[in-house]
A and B are shown apart, each in its own frame.
Chain A
Amino acid sequence: MTDIRIEVTGLRKSFGELDVLRGVDFSAPRGTSTVLLGPSGSGKTTVLRSLNVLDTPDAGVVRIDDVSVDFSALPPGKAGRAEAARLRAQSGMVFQAHNLFPHRTVLQNLTEGPVVAQRRPLDEVVAEARVLLDQVGLADKADAYPYQLSGGQQQRVGIARALALKPRVVLFDEPTSALDPELVGEVLAVIKDLASEGWTTMIVTHEIRFAEKVADQVLFLDGGVVVERGTPGQVIGDPREERTRRFLRRVLEHG
């Protein structure tokens, strides 16, 4: 029996007149990496943000591990917010623009969530945070402020901050798009390590070559639906859909 860690059914979301998600369904087994591909405006970032409830879907069910939320039946007010918070706590989010807290040191960026939100003891959290920093190659930067780091280092702190929450799933929203090309590699290397360590990850990216190497499954989104789903070999190597082929051609030409 496969252990399904993420299960998304009938996910819908519109911003005003614009239907961004029009019924997205997929699932991801534990310990796998799922890469979301698609042209801009296809809804891939919205899928990711829905998992973390940064955007609240209008309808559909999201289950991560043992927490499941039916957004069609989300109670209003406090109860709904509590449910959303429980789902959010299942995942860690890595942003395109890292969104580190500029007034906190690297170590404090990592400990903030576990100590303040999860109310875990500081010394235990600090010890774990140092291990994580070591893992992303930044053990010596614990007391630096974010502005003192390079873009790649900042993004690696962003990843460590997400991991410090001990989430069931790590979500990456275009983690390398804001980086100078020479800094992309170090970040991708860290993400690849996570995947091989058994973390369940979900990655929105334009790095096709990286997706081929790291992904267990690739979802191609267009127009708010999953157009094609399969292994990297299937979706990237031998796409069945014309829309997928067109997209890949365009990205690979420019990339």
Chain B
Amino acid sequence: MLLLLLGFLLPAPATAQPQQPVVRVGTEGTYPPFSFHDPQTQELTGYDIEVVEAIAAKAGWRLEFVETQWDAVFPALDAGRIDLIANQVSRNPERAARYGLSSTYTYSRGVVVRRTGDDRVKSIDDLAGKTTAQSSTSNWAKVARDAGARVEAVEGFAQAAALLQQGRVDAIVNDNIAVLDYLASTGSRDVEIAGDAGQAGSEQVLALRQGDTALLTQANQAIVALKADGTLRGISEKYFKANVSVPDGGDADLSQGRGSRSTWEVLRSTAWPMFVGLVKVTIPLTALSFAIGLVLALLVALARISPYKVLSGLARAFISVIRGTPLLLQLFIVFYGLPQIGLKFPPFTAAVVAFSLNVAGYAAEVVRSAILSVPRGQFEAASTIGLSYPQTLRRIVLPQAARTAVPPLSNTLLSLLKDTSLGSVVLLTELFRESQLAAAESNEFLALYSFAGLYYWVICVALSAAQKRLETRLNRYVIA
């Protein structure tokens, strides 16, 4: 224990004993609860991290963590840039043939999850004719289908659990560790593990280079010792409220405490990430899309009222298409569709492109009618004093058109602010996405979505107030 503590407190080489070998550990760092950064302290932590730290303490290693994407972690091991992988590596024949795999430190298996106390679902055999919620891409969807269940596609276990809890589906088939993680982190008692999914379980191990037998032996000895002295069980129960270091760790024991947080605590810890999502993504996305959209709208409006038939026809077609198709679809075309013809944007750029085109389509009609609302005499007076058409627009017509355009454009802006929540489906971690992530972790859907709504609402109220001031300003030369 003392050594473990030392490992934590004294990572600097100067204080380490010279004979301690440095072991470089490859891990994702973005895979909660196994390997992730604590949102408060930013420290790398997690179940796998604590396990490998305990092993290091027993084996007398000094650890150096190398955070690597999953795709790159085995190549890094091959290339000798890391010495072992601690990242829920499952044992399989291919890996066993190529790598030195340690003793198992985690056992997982497929389980059937039901609403607590729902006796109709006891095992995989009861799923025939019932509905389950599954991630459409997971193997578990296939297992459920093979058992005769109808499968509703969802994104992630939290959403599946919410549907189950609300009675919209009858069961979920999933990996027990994901279920235990969900139960432990949300403290939910509304769903429970009903039984085994009847699949072969899987074993998670450390992966080392094949020739590294000395290190492998040390690791295996440490794992045996940690199992014997209850250390692994302790780490497992800390994260999952169950012992996943033995083949049948059973259900989560949520009897005492179970680490769930109150609604208030969840809100308190989520308020800041949501605010960051608002300030760093939602607001810049709105502002940028609106600014670009307005410029485009002006060009489209001018094209629309121009005497050139081709130009006005194109503008009319653009407006018609933008207004005649769903915004979500436009966003999907830009984000998922355009890469197929070689136009690949990062999420934020894709969202700006889609949203500003959408704003342009709607605002063009507003701008056009605002320009046309300026009396003909103003155009004539401007022309008579020698102003060119661009000068007339910029100096005489647009300032007056603004008066007419501000109220409807404000509506466009408010809609846009709220529509940026659609960015959550193109990998943008904006305000709404933050609340979704937090809700998935805590099950506090009502509280978190309401809270996110409050953020949107406050910004909308502020924008409306700004609109009032702007209108007053623009009216100053009309109303005495």
Q: Nearest chain A CB to B382's CB is how many angstroms away? A: 8
Q: Nearest chain B CB to A126's CB is how many angstroms away? A: 16
- Chain A: residues with Cβ within 8 Å of the partner, total of 26
Within 8 A of A (CB), among B9-50: none
B380 and A89: CB pair below 8 A?
no
Closest to A108 in B: B395
A148 and B480: CB pair below 8 A?
yes
Closest to A92 in B: B384
Stretch in A2-10, A15-23, A99-107 touching the partner: A99-107
Give the residues in chain A near B375, CB-CB below 8 Å: 99
A101 and B391: CB pair below 8 A?
no
Please, how many angstroms separate the alpha-carbon atoms of A5 and B386 in the complex?
Answer: 20
Taking the complex as formed, is A186 at the interface, i.e. its CB lies under 8 A from any CB of chain B?
no
Please, how many angstroms separate the alpha-carbon atoms of A112 and B59 in the complex?
Answer: 85
Taking the complex as formed, is B307 at the interface, i.e. its CB lies under 8 A from any CB of chain A?
no
Taking the complex as formed, is A95 at the interface, i.e. its CB lies under 8 A from any CB of chain B?
yes
Q: Nearest chain B CB to A250's CB is how many angstroms away? A: 28
Q: Nearest chain A CB to B316's CB is how many angstroms away? A: 24
Within 8 A of B (CB), among A119-148: 145-148
B400 and A102: CB pair below 8 A?
yes
Give the residues in chain B near A88, CB-CB below 8 Å: 383-384, 386
Give the residues in chain B near A97, CB-CB below 8 Å: 377
Please, how many angstroms separate the alpha-carbon atoms of A178 and B381 in the complex?
Answer: 17
Task: Flag B350-383 by CB within 8 Å of A: 1 or 0 each.
Answer: 0000000000000000000000000101101111
Q: Taking A85-B386, A116-B395, A117-B387 as contacts, is the C-beta distance between A99 and B381 under 8 angstroms?
A: yes
Please, how many angstroms separate the alpha-carbon atoms of A184 and B13 in the complex?
Answer: 97
B386 and A165: CB pair below 8 A?
yes
B478 and A147: CB pair below 8 A?
yes
Q: How extensive is the interface on chain B, given as a class?
A: 20 to 34
Task: Flag A152-180 by CB within 8 Å of B: 1 or 0 each.
Answer: 00000000011001000000000000000
Please, how many angstroms separate the alpha-carbon atoms of A89 and B383 in the complex?
Answer: 10
Taking the complex as formed, is A45 at the interface, i.e. its CB lies under 8 A from any CB of chain B?
no
A117 and B386: CB pair below 8 A?
yes
Taking the complex as formed, is B385 at the interface, i.e. its CB lies under 8 A from any CB of chain A?
yes
Taking the complex as formed, is B399 at the interface, i.e. its CB lies under 8 A from any CB of chain A?
yes
Please, how many angstroms separate the alpha-carbon atoms of A113 and B396 in the complex?
Answer: 11
Within 8 A of A (CB), among B461-478: 477-478
B477 and A165: CB pair below 8 A?
no
Q: Beyond the given A54-B383, A112-B387, could you list 16 further A-B residue pairs with CB under 8 A, ordered by the A residue number?
A: A54-B380, A88-B383, A88-B384, A89-B386, A92-B384, A93-B384, A99-B378, A101-B381, A101-B382, A102-B477, A102-B478, A103-B477, A116-B386, A116-B387, A116-B391, A117-B386
Q: Which residues of B contact A (CB under 8 A)?
A: 375, 377-378, 380-388, 391, 395-396, 399-400, 477-480
Q: Which residues of A contact B (CB under 8 A)?
A: 52, 54, 85, 88-89, 92-93, 95, 97, 99-103, 112-113, 116-118, 145-148, 161-162, 165
Closest 5 CB pairs of A and B: A113-B385, A117-B386, A99-B377, A99-B381, A93-B384
